[in-house]
């Protein structure tokens, strides 16, 4: 069902432009192919192109890097390894105090799959990739750890010596008297949550163009970075230049970000270093495989949340134990994801006592960073799942438990136990309206009817407070009060806006907001048009940023839903300031008091005598043409820049209370889902979402934000996961494995609004873009839990996982039936066994197994087999399975020789497509007919590129290849030649590593 | 993500293709719709020295009835076959399965034969070929041969095609008045199947073919079975397929689907 | 038969939105890169280079085509249509484009070109599509911003408008 968008360009009345869904100024260009995204802009002649060679290992020492062949390739300008980058940069700052470094490229050790190992710069991208394939990196693998709780168990492999036990931070907080509340309350409920890794993955990937002026030692960078511009200081520091020698610009258009493009900054450093080393501009456009594997992701988190609860469902205290997984490096601004919600750990509820333990750990996964929802999904998944569990435990209706705990409408501004100042709201009213307008009763009747027919139908609820406009100081909550005192205060949310008037009186607005599709230019034209009594089309808005020329601050950028609340409001203040001066000028010209002046319909007019007026453009141009004729007190009206920061955003106090955000919207969602009994797919029957985001500036865009967030949240709930094997292999490296929802999976949510303006922002607006990323995943999980009657729900709701939960024991295989298929253990290891009968006595077969000539003849594509010792072989093979080919270096050793009865083979293979290692035991026994019965068992593991893009087909290939080997061997032994498949362990490994899954 | 370097041969006749394949053997690749091959090249999973574009060869574009079969040439795109007016009447199973292959934007370019050559175990066209018992028409400079569906698929992405052979086309039997059914479960619409099942009533009973579970699409014939005999047969079949776990589904889930969907479809065609 | 050597550039000529264009490409150059970086037709975007996202979709000889899965050499002599050719004139949008703007069917606009091409192609042949048909068609595209429904609404509105416009002209 489609819902009408209230879209109109209504008659020019006196009603303000703000609040109307006018058409966007951005659209005409974007709809006709005239957008200006980073890769659309031309580059200087001679610009070089970079590609990045990345680690196939989750954790390994780099023993050597041989890039000679790559450097010799025509067109290659340079190959930078870690030491080359280190020579011209310093480590990126790390978000906590610890003796740890964070480089944008691996120095002597890789810590996640996809970590940069070398940068190749060449005349074009294809050539750079040709060269990257020629680089030979020797690794010594280490054990990897991917689970946050696993990382802090004793004996776990340690990533950084400066983070003992992989713990980057461990802080405990206490607000009110939680121990007493727990002791006094009749009930205690607890929930353990594993929130998965995912990302909002914009469709445009990262892009950087960098150049270096050696004369001034200054960098110029164009990147589709989104802010916060606090990162500018991080980059400048890493490049070892003062801020004024790093000119950072953004392109006019950006293809979505959702937080993710904050994560481009380590690549800015890397590409800038490449520009410096080559002396030429260098351009890098990230490709999709790089993006999925190694750009950035949201944090995954292990949470134990307990609540002290009264008999009526009132929650008296919460006890949070959060273990935040930031991946392999703690990159700025992490551990911000964990602290962004610190003021909001009680959600929409009035809960006086809170205990918190926050641990930040590192694991062998891609480092984390900004992502839409930023900490909210992780917190609300625990909190709102717990609320449902409390209701079930106490035999109450989940909605009643929500209502019982909501903050009272009369309590605003309300200070939460952990320090947030909730600006405004009427949560009860919002819930009541949603229940009514969203027809909850009807949904419940539907559930009853469906259940009566034996169908799996459930309803879920969530209430969520959506924080926006981050306090730049919240992250310092990770420090102790004493550490904060030493470091000096950090707080606020400085927004900037500039309004300029040109000699013909037309208006230009500039803000440092860096939109990625949110229509900032349109909304600002509305806001400023209202102030000047003009039309939006009269206002021209520029939202690009150039740190060398524009007004900006560390808080600039597009994140934490700060645009409507902070930036648009600041633009209004700037316009008003100019308007105030224009009013004085006009007053003197019209001979009236300045207080009598209004701006309307393109004129500056006397309120009392509307005939007495002067064209806006005339007044506006005066500062240019005749500054001398301005009244003395008016000042110039050519350009005005306003800096605005809300006073409410104070630093954390000594009790660690932090007002982490300025505004707090409210969301109440409920939904009905039905689970297919055969496929266990979750179908969303109806999704209702009620928003109070304060004053709405542009309804069409607000709904657009809600729908977009809802869709990403639906993806997180049902499909998306950055999946890792236990050995750190990355398993979802293509868009055919990291599944984004498409038109056929996304229903239209029913959106309702209530407007309680924020008293803290100039326009009364609050942020709205992130709320559904916080509310929707858990709302769907609650509905599925209700449908299936289960307590534990893990995202994403993969049907096969639900099968494990809801289906009883599987029918056993028929007696004496099939041989069991190879079993894959938790990691990417694959084990199996089999048998074959071979002509020829065991002695003959034995000799073949140990003979390089035989091996060479049965391994397809084998270039050479070098016998290092009698039991150690090295081979160079070019291998393919079906259409997939690759070249590998393989190394095989034989152990535990028991001629002619048994031998163990152990080996590994590496190539551009990945690596493999395996161990196999082969036993030979006479079959009684002059032949040999050959039994084998094996244990193999593969990783690298091929695991992340071909996972689906890997396991099956093993069987195929092993089967093929024995067929070939049997043929050879029987004198039948070795046509067709071939074998050896390295053939196996190489072939394994050469597979590619078909889901493109 | 840019392809490695290769020569490009725009073939104008089948002879051009066969010559190219004969000369370059395993280092040559036929380029048909490109919907699998190009992605693999972009990811540098394949390193052919020569690509032979077969899409400008008119003689490969045929869809023709030949007696009791339909012959589909290597130049026939998936969209062309879907638009063939006689499709539902002559090849009702293909009519059901083909819309599940990718998306409109990939069917417009991808070919029927390319999908068979690629031999993804989850692909729909290999399943249809096996279910119908069709034949693959192979041709090299040396010889022409026909390979039965069940002998064509040798494993995951492996076929009986030799390096110098072109799949010239396929031949699918027209089963008169056949009752057929098809169902597929994928994570999202247009994805490769987790499990795809095709059922067909045969003279002696019923045939069920399953894709997405074993390394190759696999068909099984049964007499008319009912009740627990059918359950047992399906259960045994489900296990025999040797399902495995991957990121998208578990082996057990796949077996569940074979049992449940298999039963439904058999019920449908035997009705 | 034409054989183009791997390491040299070869002339590629085709018609782009009705006008002849020409450039040089190595055999391995993708059509998406050729359009964008040789011809400067940057309206066609690249989001995945493995056929899934749909951002690069163009029309080649009447066929919807992922330009990232097509070689420039393959389209020599063909007729191509891209987003740059949709508007009736530089300062006016076509019916479908207007419907997109009216319905806020785009945010960042990165996915939009491909979606417009799929719709333009489809609506020409199926003037009265159902919502389900449009959803099926567009399942071959990923949009990360809009949540899709405004796109579907725009498509249905444009279809209705195109049909009634056609009716008017044929009535006249
Ligand atoms: C987004 C997306 C989704 C997809 N979803 C599905 C899906 O759900 N189900 C599905 O089945 N497929 C799916 N596919 C793949 C499908 O579209 C391809 O059409 C098919 O796999 C290959 O056909 P092609 O003509 O494009 O072959 P190409 O890509 O040109 O070739 C594939 C392989 O076959 C070889 N080859 C091709 N033709 C011949 C021939 N005549 N003789 C010898 N060798 C030949 C090539 O050398 C190559 O190795 C999807 C693809 C994409 C991009
Ligand atoms: S770029 Fe071609 S489909 Fe994504
Ligand atoms: S509008 Fe941004 S991806 Fe579609």
Stretch (H or E) spanning A30? helix A27-31
Q: CA-nearest residue of chain C to B79? A: C63
Output the CA B73–ligand 3 centroid distance in Å.
Answer: 39
B190 to chain C, any CB pair closer than 8 A? The answer is yes
Strands A507-511 and A539-542: parallel
Contact yes or no for C55 and A203 at CB 8 A: yes
* Selection from C122, C139, C118, C143 nearest residue C57 by Cα: C118
- Is C84 in Cβ contact with A746 (below 8 Å)? no
Residues 195-254 of A with CB under 8 A from B: none
pLDDT computed for residue A988 by the predictor:
40
The CATH architecture of the domain made up of C10-85 is Roll (3.10)
Measured between beta carbons, which residues in chain A are less than 8 angstroms from residue B189?
742, 744-745
Both tokens of residue A860? 């397809």
H/E run at residue A88? helix A82-88
Report whether C12 contacts C25 (CB < 8 A).
Answer: yes
pLDDT at site A817: 59
* B123 chain-A contacts, CB cut-off 8 A: 998
Residues paired with B49 in a beta bridge: none
Which ligand neighbours the alpha carbon of C143 most closely? 3
**Domain ranges within chain C, ordered by starting residue:** 10-85, 95-171
Secondary structure (H, E, C), chain B: CCCCCCEEEECCCHHHHHHHHHHHHHHEEEECCCCCHHHHHHCCCCCCCEEEECCCCHHHCCEEEECCEEEEECCCEHHHHHHCCCHHHHCHHHHHHHHHCCCHHHHCCCEHHHHHHHCCCCCHHHHHHHHHCCEEEEECCCCEEEEEHHHHEEECCEECCCCCCEEEEEEEECCCCCCEEEEEECCCCCCCCCEEEEEEECCCEEEEEEECCCCCCEEEEEECCCHHHHHHHHHHHHHHCCCCCCCCCCHHHHHHHHHHHHHHHHHHHHC
pLDDT per position as a tens digit, A701-737: 999 999 999 999 999 999 999 999 888 989 899 999 9
Give the whole-angstrom CA distance, residue C2 versus residue C27: 12
Whether residue A941 is predicted with pLDDT greater than 80 in this model: the reply is: no
Nearest-angstrom CA–CA distance, B124 and B101: 6
Task: Out of 3.90.660.20, 3.40.50.620, 1.10.150.130, 1.10.150.120, select the CATH number for domain C95-171.
Answer: 1.10.150.120
Pairs from C161-169 (Cβ < 8 Å, separation ≥ 24): C161/C95, C161/C99, C162/C95, C162/C96, C162/C123, C162/C127, C163/C127, C163/C128, C165/C95, C166/C127
CA dist., res. A378 & res. A368, Å (int): 14
pLDDT in tens, A788-799: 999 999 999 999
pLDDT tens string C86-112: 999 989 999 999 999 999 999 999 999
Alpha-carbon A179 to chain mean position = 36
DSSP A752-792: EE-----TTSTTSB---SSHHHHHHHHHHHHHHHHHHT-S-
- Find chains touching chain A: ≥3 CB pairs under 8 Å: B, C
Atom 4 (ligand 3) nearest CA: C143
> Is 3.90.1170.50 the CATH number for A43-143+200-294?
yes
Q: Which fold has domain A821-995?
A: Alpha-D-Glucose-1,6-Bisphosphate; Chain A, domain 4 (3.30.530)
Q: Name the residue among B104, B83, B170 with its Cα closest to residue B133.
A: B170
Using alpha carbons only, give the angle A402, A405, A410 rounded to the nearest 5 degrees.
120
pLDDT at A947: 72
| Buried b / exposed e along C9-25 (16+ C-beta atoms within 10 A) | ebebebebbeeebebeb
> Is ligand 3 within 6 A of the CB of residue C110?
yes
Short-list A239, A882, A746, CA closest to B152: A882
Could you tell me if B80 lies within 8 Å of chain C, comparing CB atoms?
no
Contact A735, A999 (CB under 8 A): no
Helices (H), A515-660: 520-532, 568-590, 616-625
Checking if the pLDDT of A801 tops 50, the result is yes
Residue ranges of the domains in chain A? 43-143+200-294, 161-198+297-476+650-805, 821-995
Q: Tell me the per-residue pLDDT of A409-434, one tens digit each, with 9 for 90 and over.
A: 999 999 999 999 999 999 999 999 99
CB burial string A348-385: b at 16+ within 10 A, e below: bbbbbbbbbebbbbbbbbbbbbbbbbbbbbbbbbbbbb
Mutate to test the interface with C, among B5, B11, B105 (most CBs of C within 10 A): B105
State pLDDT tens for residues B52-86: 999 999 999 999 999 999 999 999 999 999 999 99
DSSP 3-state assignment of A676? coil
Angle of the C95-102 helix axis to the C149-171 helix axis, nearest 10: 140
Q: Is the pLDDT of residue A368 over 60?
A: yes
Ligand with the closest atom to the CA of B103: 1
Determine the Cα–Cα distance for residues A900 and A845; give it in Å rounded to an integer.
8
Give the Cβ contact number of residue C61 at 10 Å. Answer: 13
A-C Cβ pairs (cutoff 8 Å, strict): 188
Which class is A161-198+297-476+650-805 in CATH?
A: alpha beta
Q: What's the pLDDT score for residue A5?
A: 35
A205 interfacial to chain C (CB closer than 8 Å):
yes
> Residues B185-209: pLDDT tens digits?
999 988 889 999 999 999 899 999 9
Q: What is the DSSP letter of A726?
A: T
CA distance A380 to A195: 10
Q: Is C31 exposed, middle or buried (0-12, 13-18, 19+ CB in 10 A)?
A: buried
Pairing of strands C10-16, C19-25: antiparallel
pLDDT bin (cut points 50, 70, 90) of residue B22 is: very high
Hey, are the CB atoms on C106 and A30 less than 8 Å from each other?
yes
Q: pLDDT per residue over A643-682, tens digit each? A: 999 999 999 999 999 999 999 999 999 999 999 999 999 9
Q: Do B157 and A885 touch (CB under 8 A)?
A: no
Q: Residue B29 and residue A706: Cα distance in Å, rounded?
A: 47
B3, B4, B8: best to mutate for the C interface, most C CBs within 10 A: B8
CA A828 – CA A943 distance, rounded (Å): 8
- Whether residues B246 and A719 touch (CB distance < 8 A) is answered with no
pLDDT single digits (tens) A44-84:
999 999 999 999 999 999 999 999 999 999 999 999 999 99
Residue B185: nearest ligand to its CA?
1
For residue A715, give the 3-state DSSP assignment.
helix
Confidence of residue A959 (pLDDT cuts 50, 70, 90): low
pTM metric for this prediction: 0.94
Most informative mutation of C103, C145, C151, C155 for ligand 3 (most atoms within 8 A of CB): C145
Distance from CA of C96 to the nearest CA of A (A): 9
Disruptive mutation site among C71, C115, C148 for chain B (greatest number of B CBs within 10 Å): C71
Contact state of C4 with B9 under an 8 Å Cβ cutoff: yes
Q: Do A748 and C48 touch (CB under 8 A)?
A: no
Nearest of B113, B89, B81 to residue B174 by alpha carbon: B89
Half-sphere exposure of B250 (CA within 13 A, CB side): 16
What is the average pLDDT score of chain A? Answer: 90
Q: For A38-49, write each residue's pLDDT tens digit.
A: 999 999 999 999
The residue behind tokens 């150059």 is: C29
Minimum Cα–Cα distance from A746: chain C residue: C147
Our answer on whether the CB atom of C159 is closer than 6 Å to any ligand 3 atom is: no
pLDDT at B25: 84
Q: Tell me if A830 sits within 8 A of A988, measured CB to CB.
A: no
Residue-range domains of chain B with CATH: 7-53 (3.30.43.10), 58-173 (3.30.465.10), 180-270 (3.30.390.50)
**Average of per-residue pLDDT across B99-122:** 96
ipTM of the complex: 0.97
**Yes or no, beta carbons of C144 and A3 under 8 Å apart:** no
Chains touching B (at least 3 CB pairs under 8 A) are A, C
For residue A562, the 8-state DSSP code is: -
CB–CB of A781/A795 below 8 Å? yes
């Amino acid at each position: 069902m489609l819902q009408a968008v209230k879209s109109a360009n209504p008659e020019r009345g006196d009603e303000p432009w703000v609040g109307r869904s006018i058409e966007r100024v951005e659209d005409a260009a974007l709809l006709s192919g005239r957008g200006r995204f980073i890769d659309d802009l031309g580059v200087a002649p001679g610009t070089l192109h970079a590609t990045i060679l990345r680690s196939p290992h989750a954790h390994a020492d780099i023993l050597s890097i041989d890039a000679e062949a790559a450097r010799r390739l025509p067109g290659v300008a340079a190959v930078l390894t870690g030491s080359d980058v280190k020579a011209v940069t310093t480590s990126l700052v790390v978000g906590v105090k610890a003796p740890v470094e964070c480089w944008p490229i691996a120095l002597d050790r890789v810590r996640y799959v996809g970590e940069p190992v070398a940068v190749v710069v060449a005349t074009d991208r294809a050539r750079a990739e040709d060269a990257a394939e020629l680089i030979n990196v020797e690794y010594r693998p280490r054990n990897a750890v991917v689970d946050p709780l696993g990382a802090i168990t004793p004996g776990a492999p340690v990533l950084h010596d400066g983070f003992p036990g992989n713990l980057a931070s461990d802080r405990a907080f206490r607000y009110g008297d939680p121990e007493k509340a727990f002791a006094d309350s009749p009930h205690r409920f607890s929930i353990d949550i594993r929130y998965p890794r995912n990302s909002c993955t914009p469709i445009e990937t990262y892009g950087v163009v960098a150049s270096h002026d050696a004369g001034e030692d200054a960098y110029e960078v164009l990147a589709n970075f989104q802010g916060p511009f606090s990162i500018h200081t991080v980059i400048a520091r890493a490049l070892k230049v003062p801020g004024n020698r790093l000119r950072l610009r953004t392109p006019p258009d950006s293809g979505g970000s959702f937080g993710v493009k904050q994560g481009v900054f380590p690549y800015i450093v890397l590409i800038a270093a490449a520009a410096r080393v080559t002396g030429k501009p260098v351009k890098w456009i990230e490709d999709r495989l790089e993006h999925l594997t190694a750009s950035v992701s949201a944090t995954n988190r292990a949470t134990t949340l307990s609540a002290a609860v009264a008999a009526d469902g009132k929650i008296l205290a919460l006890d949070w134990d959060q273990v935040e997984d930031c991946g392999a490096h703690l990159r700025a601004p992490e551990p911000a994801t964990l602290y962004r919600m610190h003021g909001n750990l009680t959600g929409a509820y009035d809960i006086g006592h809170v205990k918190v333990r926050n641990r930040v750990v590192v694991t062998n996964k891609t480092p984390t960073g900004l992502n839409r929802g930023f900490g909210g999904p992780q917190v609300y998944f625990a909190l709102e799942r717990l609320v449902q569990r409390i209701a079930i435990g106490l035999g109450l209706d989940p909605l009643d438990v929500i209502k019982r705990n909501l903050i009272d409408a009369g309590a605003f501004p309300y200070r939460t136990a952990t320090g947030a100042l909730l600006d405004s709201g009427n949560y009860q009213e919002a819930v009541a309206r949603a229940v009514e307008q969203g027809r909850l009763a009807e949904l419940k009747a539907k559930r009853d009817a469906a259940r009566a027919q034996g169908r799996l139908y459930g309803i879920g609820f969530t209430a969520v407070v959506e924080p926006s406009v981050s306090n730049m100081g919240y992250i310092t909550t990770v420090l102790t009060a004493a550490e904060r005192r030493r470091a000096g205060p950090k707080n606020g949310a400085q927004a900037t806006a500039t309004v300029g008037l040109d000699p013909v009186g037309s208006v230009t607005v500039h803000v440092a907001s860096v939109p990625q599709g949110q229509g900032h230019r349109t909304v600002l034209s509305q806001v400023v048009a209202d102030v000047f009594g003009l039309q939006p089309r009269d206002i021209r808005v520029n939202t690009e940023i150039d740190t060398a020329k524009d007004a900006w601050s560390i808080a600039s950028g597009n994140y934490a839903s700060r645009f409507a609340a902070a930036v648009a409001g600041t633009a209004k203040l700037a316009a008003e300031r100019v308007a105030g001066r224009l009013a004085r000028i006009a007053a003197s010209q019209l001979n009236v008091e300045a207080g009598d002046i209004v701006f309307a319909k393109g004129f500056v007019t006397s309120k009392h005598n509307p005939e007495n007026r002067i064209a806006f453009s005339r007044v506006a141009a005066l500062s240019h043409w005749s500054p001398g004729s301005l009244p003395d007190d008016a000042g110039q009206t050519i350009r005005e820049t306003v800096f605005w920061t809300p006073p409410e955003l104070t630093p954390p106090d000594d009790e660690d209370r932090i007002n982490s955000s300025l505004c707090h919207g409210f969301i109440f969602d409920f939904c009905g889902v039905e689970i297919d009994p055969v496929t266990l797919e979750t179908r969303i029957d109806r999704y209702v979402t009620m928003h109070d985001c304060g004053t709405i500036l542009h309804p069409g865009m607000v709904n657009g934000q809600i729908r977009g967030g809802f869709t990403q949240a639906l993806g997180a709930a049902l499909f998306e996961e950055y999946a890792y094997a236990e050995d750190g292999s990355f398993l979802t490296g293509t868009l055919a494995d990291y599944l984004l929802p498409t038109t056929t999976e996304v229903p239209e949510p029913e959106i309702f609004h209530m407007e309680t303006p924020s008293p803290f922002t100039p326009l009364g607006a609050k942020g709205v873009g992130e709320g559904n990323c916080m509310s929707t995943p858990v709302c769907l999980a609650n509905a599925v839990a209700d449908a299936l009657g289960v307590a534990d729900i893990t995202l994403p709701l993969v049907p096969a996982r639900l099968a494990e939960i809801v289906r009883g024991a599987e029918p056993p295989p028929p007696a004496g039936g099939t041989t069991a298929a190879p079993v894959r253990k938790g990691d990417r290891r694959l084990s199996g066994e089999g048998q074959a009968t071979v002509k020829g006595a065991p002695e003959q077969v034995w000799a073949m197994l140990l003979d390089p000539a035989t091996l060479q003849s049965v391994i397809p594509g084998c270039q050479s087999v070098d016998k290092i010792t009698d039991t150690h072989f090295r081979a160079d093979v070019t291998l393919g399975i079906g259409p997939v080919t690759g070249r590998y270096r393989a190394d095989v050793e034989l152990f535990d020789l028991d001629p002619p009865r048994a031998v163990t083979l152990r080996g590994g293979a590496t190539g551009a497509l990945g690596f493999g290692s395996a161990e196999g035991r082969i036993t030979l026994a006479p079959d009684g007919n002059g032949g040999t019965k050959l039994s084998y068992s094996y244990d193999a593991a593969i990783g690298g590129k091929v695991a992340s893009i071909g996972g689906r087909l890997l396991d099956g290939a093993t069987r195929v290849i092993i089967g093929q080997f024995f067929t070939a061997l049997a043929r050879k032994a029987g004198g039948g030649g070795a046509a067709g498949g071939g074998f050896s362990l390295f053939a196996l490994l190489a072939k394994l590593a050469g597979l590619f899954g078909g889901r493109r | 993500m840019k392809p490695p370097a290769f020569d490009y041969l725009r073939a104008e006749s089948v002879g051009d293709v066969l010559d190219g394949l004969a000369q370059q053997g395993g280092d040559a690749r036929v380029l048909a719709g490109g919907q699998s091959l190009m992605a693999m090249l972009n990811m540098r999973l394949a390193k052919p020295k020569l690509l032979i574009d077969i899409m400008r060869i008119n003689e490969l574009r045929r869809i023709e009835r030949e007696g009791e079969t339909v012959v589909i040439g290597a130049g026939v795109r998936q969209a062309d076959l879907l638009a063939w007016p006689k499709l539902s009447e002559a090849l009702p199973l293909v009519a059901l399965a083909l819309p599940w292959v990718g998306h409109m934007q990939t069917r417009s370019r991808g070919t029927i034969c390319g999908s068979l050559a690629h031999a993804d175990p989850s692909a729909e066209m290999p399943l249809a070929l096996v279910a119908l018992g069709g034949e693959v028409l192979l041709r090299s400079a040396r010889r022409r041969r026909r390979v039965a569906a069940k002998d064509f698929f040798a494993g995951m992405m492996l076929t009986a095609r030799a390096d110098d052979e072109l799949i010239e086309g396929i031949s699918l039997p027209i089963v008169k008045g056949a009752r057929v059914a098809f169902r597929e479960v994928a994570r999202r619409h247009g994805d490769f199947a987790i499990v795809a099942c095709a059922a067909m009533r045969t003279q002696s009973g019923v045939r069920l073919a399953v894709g997405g579970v074993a390394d190759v699409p696999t068909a099984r014939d049964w007499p008319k079975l009912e009740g627990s005999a059918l359950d047992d047969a399906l259960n045994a079949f489900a296990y025999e397929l040797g399902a495995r776990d991957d990121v998208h589904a578990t082996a057990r889930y796949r077996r569940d689907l074979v049992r449940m969907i298999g039963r439904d479809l058999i019920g449908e065609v035997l009705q | 038969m034409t054989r183009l050597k791997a390491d040299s550039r070869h002339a590629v000529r085709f018609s782009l939105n009705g006008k002849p264009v020409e450039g040089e490409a190595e055999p391995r150059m993708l059509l998406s890169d050729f359009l964008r970086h040789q011809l400067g037709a940057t309206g066609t975007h690249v989001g995945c280079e493995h056929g899934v996202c749909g951002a690069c979709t163009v029309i080649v000889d009447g066929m919807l085509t992922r330009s990232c899965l097509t070689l420039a050499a393959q389209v020599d002599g063909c007729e191509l249509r891209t987003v740059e050719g949709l508007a009736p004139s530089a300062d006016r949008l076509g019916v479908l484009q207007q419907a997109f703007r009216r319905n806020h069917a785009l945010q960042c606009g990165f996915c939009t070109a491909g979606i417009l091409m799929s719709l333009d192609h489809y609506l020409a042949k199926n003037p009265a599509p159902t919502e389900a048909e449009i959803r099926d068609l567009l399942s071959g595209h990923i949009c990360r911003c809009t949540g899709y429904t405004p796109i579907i609404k725009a498509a249905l509105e444009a279809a209705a408008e195109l049909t009634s416009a056609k009716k008017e002209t044929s009535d006249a």
